[in-house]
Amino acid sequence: DADVTQTPRNRITKTGKRIMLECSQTKGHDRMYWYRQDPGLGLQLIYYSFDVKDINKGEISDGYSVSRQAQAKFSLSLESAIPNQTALYFCATASGGTDTQYFGPGTRLTVL
């Protein structure tokens, strides 16, 4: 089984809809991250969390919110999706002190 899983893997939605992307990990890591990937732009950090009570904004947090329900679960929400949020979204985890991040398989989100 994969160490970092993301659901759904693909999602098509309409403008204005609320969307939640979920990430779960079995690596026992305390740090979790959400990135978005757009062609030609690399990965940009949306939010990150060092533990259940510690959540921080990344470079592009506007229009997004997160919830760290447990050490192993980190969800990303789009309260009112818009077309320019169409992208590939990745969750990642890391163990404190090593800074090596391990990525999930990604969620492809299309907002029409």
Listed ranges 19-27, 65-73, 74-82, 92-100: which one lies at the site for another protein (CB under 8 A): 92-100
- Which DSSP letter does residue 27 get? S
| Number of residues located near another protein, criterion CB under 8 A | 25
Per-residue exposure over 11-31, b if at least 16 CB sit within 10 Å of its own CB, e if not: bebeeeeebebbbbbeeebbb
**C-alpha span between 40 and 71 (Å, rounded):** 32
Alpha-helical segments (H) within the chain? none
- What backbone torsions phi and psi does residue 105 show, to the nearest 5 degrees? -80, -10
What does the block give as tokens for 106?
């990604």
Site map (CB under 8 A) of another protein, residues 65-84, x = contact: --------------------
| Of the candidate residues 26, 56, 69, 80, the single one contacting another protein (CB under 8 A) | 56
Q: What's the min distance (Å) between Cβ of 22 and another protein? A: 15
Listed ranges 12-20, 48-56, 62-70, 71-79: which one lies at the site for another protein (CB under 8 A): 48-56
| Of the candidate residues 24, 25, 104, 111, the single one contacting another protein (CB under 8 A) | 104
